[in-house]
Structure formats: structure tokens, C-alpha cells
């Protein structure tokens, strides 16, 4: 592969995308006619390919070491502040618990109904009417029910977290729903469950609620949001705290 | 938090350091790998590989921006596929390999690539840096000059050409002969290629 300096120049400038149209024609002609030139060109192609592989491996190592450093840093921080790890429960458990509660409620209502019918057959007419009126005002399903969130689709997945106060006492269940079809983060409060909808992938290490003089603040990792708990079961935008 | 659009723009502007901003998507991959028989190091390995794939796709215009929040999904799915591939790949036979065997796999292209890789690893800076900046990161000569501390782009151009020649010269004579044979065979097999017999 003995090349003239002109040939080398031609090859170099070809790979630097620096040839004029006329030079490009000469280059293509040489590639067809000159075997040594063609071999030198193929070797260059191979070198470029290996440089790309080399560069990719280097970049990967560099990115990987950043992740390792982040992990080590987090491990040190965790040791220093001794944060108790909050176990993550699956949504299945939450729904399952809810189903049990619904089932228990239905059994309770049926039992109450049987008792009521039994009492009515024993009681005088006036008393029976009064009991019937009282029953009408009662909610047939007892409290504590956790409604299942609407979720589904390929870009949606869900995790449930016990949500804690600053004193690490579990006060509610927070269900984090990653839904990439959404454009903004939102939340919904049900009697004992806080549903948080996120438009992009996050991994919540910690979820905390703090009550700061009538303002309830939700903290997800480092980000803090103001919550309005008075409007139950209505989806509201998640407003970040300044 | 930097937007997806800005990450893509910065990569295209040669600021590949912006890739570290994607680390915020790592926890979901870590969670997936850990719950699928992997260790934290495995998660870091597949995620960093997914980052490189994303980077190369952006550079070659093969990544289409489809709105905010999609890069995380791309990295998650790519990492997941990489991990699945690693899990299903059969374990390699643990037969001891003699060092002299490393450049004699029986496949001429593999041998050549192996020889070039060894040369590249031994090359050191500034050659390795210049060639990587130019061919892998696709930076322009002026940006490379600034990164390696050269006065101007002409100096980089000259140095780059010298580096290529160093590699060519460092290729063992036997490999050059193999290369010659390999290239000849390749030419014969390529229909319509320059010098093709077909």
C-alpha cells in the first residue's frame, strides 16, 4: 500500500468531506482503477469503524462511572442521615385490600338488612317506618374504601407508597401513576389515598406530607408541591412550591 | 430541569456532556433490573449503554423528537431490551484462552479489528482524543482544537492525519497481508463494487 502524498491528501480530505466536485470525480476514478488506493481507502474505513467502537466504549465507561459515583455518594448520604427505607407496596396489594374492604362492607350491609327485616317483623308499624327512614340516610358502603385509579396503556405504570409525615408515621397511601400521555403533573385526593399523576418517568425515593399552617405540602424526592385537601376526589394540577 | 428538546440540541451542538442530565431516568431502569435478577452494576451497565445508543441515534439523525418526556421512555425500553438480551444469552464457555490466540480467531476481519483496537488503546492522547472527537463525536476541527488546547483547526487537521498514519504503520506486517487478502476477497464478493469481478 504505497501511496503518494497526493493520494493520502485525497483520502484525508475525502473523510473530512472537503473535496470539490472535480476532486471527488478523481477520487472515485482512483478507487476503481488503483488497487493500492482502494486498499488504503478500505483500511481507513475500518480504522474509522474501530474508532467509533473505541469512542462508544469510552463514553459508556465515563457515563457508567458517573452513575457509580452517584450511587456511592447516595450510599454515604444514607449512612450519614440514617434514613429509614420506606418499602414500596404494589398497586395490586392496594387494590386487593380495597376489594376486601368492599366485600366486608357488602357483608355488613346484608347483615344489617337481615337484622332490619328481622326487627321490622317484630316491631310495631310506626317503629318500622322510622327505622326505614334512618336507613335511607346511611351510606351503604363504609369508609376506608380505596378507589382503583384509572390506569393502563403502554406508557403508564403505577407504584404505591405509604406516605409519611415528618415524624415518619404513615398517614395515607400515595399512588404514583406515571402516565406519559399527560402534559402536566396532577393529583387527586380520596378519603385515605393520594393519587399523583406524573407526565414523565420518575422514581420516588421518598414521599412526605407536611402540614405548614393550613398548607399541606407533598415532597417527592427533592421537589415540593402545595396540596389542597379540601376538594376531595377532584383532579387538580400539582403546583410546585417556589 | 433541562428539556428533552434542549438535550437533543446540545448533543447536536457537540456538547455531549449533557448526557449526564439523562441520569435522572436511571432509577426506573435500576428498579427494573433489580427486580429481574440483576445487580445495581448490571443496571448501570445497561443504562449507560442505552445512553450511548441514544447519543449515536441523535448524532446520526435516527432519533426522532416526539415531544417532551419521551427520552426517558426510550432509555427505559432500550435498557430493558439490553438486559433481557443479556439474561437470555447463554453463558460463555469458560475455557482458558491463551494470550497468543487473541489475534487468531480464524476470521480475518475480526483479527484486523482486534489488531486495530489494540493499537487504538495503546495510542494514547492526543491521537486517541482527536480521532474520537472527529469520528465518534463528529465534532468540527475548531471545536476539537478548543477541546485539546490547540491553536487552530489546521493544527488539529495535521495532527489527525499523522495519527492515522501512525495507526497504519503500527499495523503488523502480517495483518497488512491479511488485510490485503481480506480486501481482495471482499472486492470479489461485492457486486458492483470498484474492482469487483462480478
| Whether A32 contacts B194, CB under 8 Å | yes
Residue whose C-alpha cell is 448501570: B44
Which band of pLDDT confidence, cut at 50, 70 and 90, is reported for residue B43?
very high
Q: Which cell numbers hold the place of B186?
A: 471482499
For position A135, what pLDDT does the model report? 35
For position B47, what pLDDT does the model report? 95
Phi, psi of A237 (to 5 degrees): -70, 145
| Whether B28 contacts A176, CB under 8 Å | no
Does position B96 have pLDDT exceeding 80, yes or no?
no
Nearest CA in chain A to B72: A201
Q: Pick from A25, A218, A175, A203: which is nearest to A89 by CA?
A: A175
CB-based burial label for B133 (10 Å; 0-12, 13-18, 19+): buried
Which chain B residues are within 8 Å of A58, Cβ to Cβ? 132
Question: d(Cα B188, Cα A39) in Å, to the nearest integer?
Answer: 13
Task: Show the CA angle centred on residue B44, arms to residues B39 and B50, nearest 5°.
Answer: 130
Orientation angle between helical segments B70-88 and B26-34, nearest 10 degrees? 30
Q: What is the average per-residue pLDDT within B44-62?
A: 93
For position B100, what pLDDT does the model report? 45
Q: Which range among A77-81, B21-25, B39-43 shows the weakest confidence by mean pLDDT?
A: A77-81
For position A128, what pLDDT does the model report? 35
For position A98, what pLDDT does the model report? 64
pTM: 0.56
B74: closest CA of chain A, how far (Å): 11
For position A124, what pLDDT does the model report? 44
Which chain B residues are within 8 Å of A1, Cβ to Cβ? 168, 176, 180
- State ipTM: 0.82
For chain B, give percent helix, strand, coil, nearest 5: 70, 0, 30
Q: What is the average per-residue pLDDT within B87-106?
A: 58
Orientation angle between helical segments B40-59 and B70-88, nearest 10 degrees? 120
Q: Pick from B31, B33, B23: which is nearest to B83 by CA?
A: B33
- Of the residues A27, A31, A47, the best mutation for testing chain B's interface (the one with the most B CB atoms within 10 Å of its CB) is A47
- CB-CB under 8 Å, B137 with A64: no
A115: closest CA of chain B, how far (Å): 50
Question: d(Cα A10, Cα A20) in Å, to the nearest integer?
Answer: 11
When the pLDDT of each residue in chain B is averaged and rounded to a whole number, the result is 81
Question: d(Cα A58, Cα A64) in Å, to the nearest integer?
Answer: 10
Q: What is the average per-residue pLDDT within B21-46?
A: 91
Q: Which range among A63-67, A141-145, B142-146, B151-155 shows the weakest confidence by mean pLDDT?
A: A141-145
3-state secondary structure of A189: strand
Q: Pick from A5, A213, A98: which is nearest to B161 by CA?
A: A5
b/e sequence B58-97, b meaning 16+ C-beta within 10 Å: bbeeebeeeeebbbbbbbbebbbebbeeeeeeeeeeeeee
For position B98, what pLDDT does the model report? 45
A32: closest CA of chain B, how far (Å): 5
Phi, psi of A188 (to 5 degrees): -145, 135
Q: Pick from A75, A78, A87: which is nearest to A168 by CA?
A: A87
Contacts of B131 (CB under 8 A, 6+ apart): A51, B120, B123, B160, B163, B164
Pairing assessment for the beta strands A193-198 and A207-212 based on DSSP bridges: unpaired
Of B41, B73, B112, the CB nearest to A201: B73
B25: closest CA of chain A, how far (Å): 7
Q: Which position has the higher pLDDT, B27 or B95?
A: B27
For position B5, what pLDDT does the model report? 86
| Whether A105 contacts A142, CB under 8 Å | yes
- Tens place of pLDDT per residue across chain A (242 aa): 567 888 888 888 888 888 888 888 888 888 888 888 888 888 888 888 889 999 999 999 999 998 888 877 766 555 554 434 444 444 445 556 666 777 778 888 888 877 777 665 554 443 333 333 333 333 332 233 333 333 333 344 455 555 655 544 445 566 667 676 777 788 887 766 777 877 766 665 556 666 655 567 777 767 778 777 766 677 888 887 76
Which long-range contacts link A192-200 to residues 24+ away (Cβ below 8 Å)?
A: A192/A144, A192/A146, A193/A94, A193/A146, A193/A147, A194/A163, A194/A218, A194/A227, A195/A149, A196/A220, A196/A238, A197/A235, A197/A238, A199/B68, A199/B69, A200/B68, A200/B69, A200/B72
For position B79, what pLDDT does the model report? 93
Nearest CA in chain B to A58: B132
Q: Which position has the higher pLDDT, A185 or B40?
A: B40
Q: What is the average per-residue pLDDT within B83-93?
A: 77
Q: What is the average per-residue pLDDT within B7-18?
A: 89
Phi, psi of B46 (to 5 degrees): -70, -35
Does position B148 have pLDDT exceeding 60, yes or no?
yes
Contacts of B53 (CB under 8 A, 6+ apart): B78
Contacts of A53 (CB under 8 A, 6+ apart): B113, B117
Q: Which position has the higher pLDDT, B111 or A98?
A: B111
Nearest CA in chain B to A69: B44
Which band of pLDDT confidence, cut at 50, 70 and 90, is reported for residue B52?
very high
Which chain B residues are within 8 Å of A47, Cβ to Cβ? 116, 164, 167-168
Count of other CB atoms within 10 angstroms of residue A44: 17
Q: What are the pLDDT digits (tens) for A115-152?
A: 777 665 554 443 333 333 333 333 332 233 333 333 33
| Helices marked H in A82-124 | 91-122
Give residue ranges of A with CB < 8 Å to any B CB: 1, 8, 12, 16, 31-32, 35, 38-40, 42-44, 46-56, 58-61, 63-64, 66-68, 70-71, 155, 180, 199-203, 205
Amino acid at each position: 500500500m504505497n501511496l503518494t502524498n497526493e493520494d493520502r491528501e485525497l483520502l484525508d480530505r475525502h473523510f473530512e468531506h472537503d473535496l470539490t466536485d472535480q476532486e471527488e470525480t478523481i477520487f472515485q476514478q482512483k478507487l476503481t482503477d488503483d488497487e493500492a488506493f482502494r486498499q488504503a481507502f478500505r483500511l481507513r474505513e475500518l480504522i474509522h469503524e474501530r474508532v467509533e467502537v473505541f469512542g462508544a466504549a469510552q463514553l459508556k465507561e465515563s457515563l457508567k462511572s458517573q452513575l457509580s459515583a452517584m450511587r456511592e455518594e447516595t450510599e454515604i448520604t444514607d449512612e450519614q442521615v440514617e434514613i429509614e427505607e420506606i418499602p414500596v407496596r404494589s398497586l395490586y396489594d392496594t387494590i386487593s385490600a380495597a376489594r376486601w374492604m368492599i366485600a366486608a362492607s357488602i357483608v355488613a350491609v346484608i347483615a344489617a338488612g337481615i337484622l332490619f327485616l328481622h326487627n321490622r317483623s317484630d316491631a310495631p308499624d310506626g317503629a318500622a317506618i322510622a327505622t326505614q327512614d334512618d336507613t335511607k340516610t346511611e351510606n351503604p358502603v363504609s369508609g376506608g374504601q380505596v378507589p382503583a385509579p384509572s390506569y393502563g396503556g403502554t406508557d403508564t405504570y403505577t407504584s404505591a407508597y405509604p406516605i409519611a409525615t415528618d415524624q415518619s408515621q404513615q398517614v395515607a397511601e400515595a399512588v404514583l401513576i406515571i402516565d406519559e400521555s399527560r402534559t402536566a403533573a396532577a393529583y387527586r385526593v380520596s378519603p385515605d389515598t393520594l393519587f399523583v399523576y406524573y407526565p414523565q418517568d420518575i422514581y420516588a425515593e421518598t414521599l412526605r406530607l407536611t402540614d405548614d399552617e393550613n398548607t399541606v405540602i407533598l415532597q417527592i424526592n427533592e421537589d415540593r408541591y402545595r396540596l389542597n385537601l379540601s376538594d376531595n376526589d377532584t383532579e387538580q394540577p400539582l403546583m410546585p412550591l417556589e | 430541569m433541562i428539556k428533552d428538546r434542549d438535550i437533543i440540541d446540545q448533543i447536536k451542538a457537540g456538547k455531549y456532556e449533557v448526557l449526564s442530565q439523562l441520569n435522572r431516568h436511571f432509577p426506573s431502569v435500576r428498579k427494573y433490573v433489580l427486580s429481574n435478577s440483576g445487580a445495581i452494576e448490571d443496571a448501570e451497565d445497561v443504562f449507560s449503554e442505552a445512553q450511548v445508543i441514544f447519543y449515536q441515534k441523535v448524532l446520526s439523525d435516527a432519533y426522532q423528537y416526539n415531544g417532551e418526556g419521551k427520552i426517558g421512555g426510550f432509555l427505559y425500553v432500550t435498557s430493558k431490551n439490553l438486559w433481557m438480551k443479556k439474561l437470555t444469552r447463554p453463558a460463555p464457555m469458560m475455557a482458558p484462552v491463551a494470550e497468543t490466540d487473541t489475534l487468531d480467531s480464524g476470521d480475518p476481519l475480526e483479527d484486523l479489528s482486534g489488531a486495530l483496537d489494540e493499537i487504538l488503546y495503546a495510542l494514547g492522547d492526543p491521537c486517541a482524543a482527536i480521532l474520537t472527537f472527529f469520528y465518534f463525536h463528529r465534532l468540527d476541527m475548531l471545536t476539537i482544537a478548543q477541546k485539546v488546547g490547540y491553536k487552530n483547526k489546521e493544527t488539529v487537521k495535521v495532527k489527525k492525519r499523522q495519527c492515522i498514519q501512525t495507526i497504519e504503520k503500527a499495523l503488523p506486517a502480517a495483518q497488512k497481508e491479511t488485510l490485503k487478502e481480506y480486501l481482495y476477497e471482499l472486492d470479489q464478493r461485492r457486486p458492483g463494487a470498484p474492482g469487483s469481478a462480478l
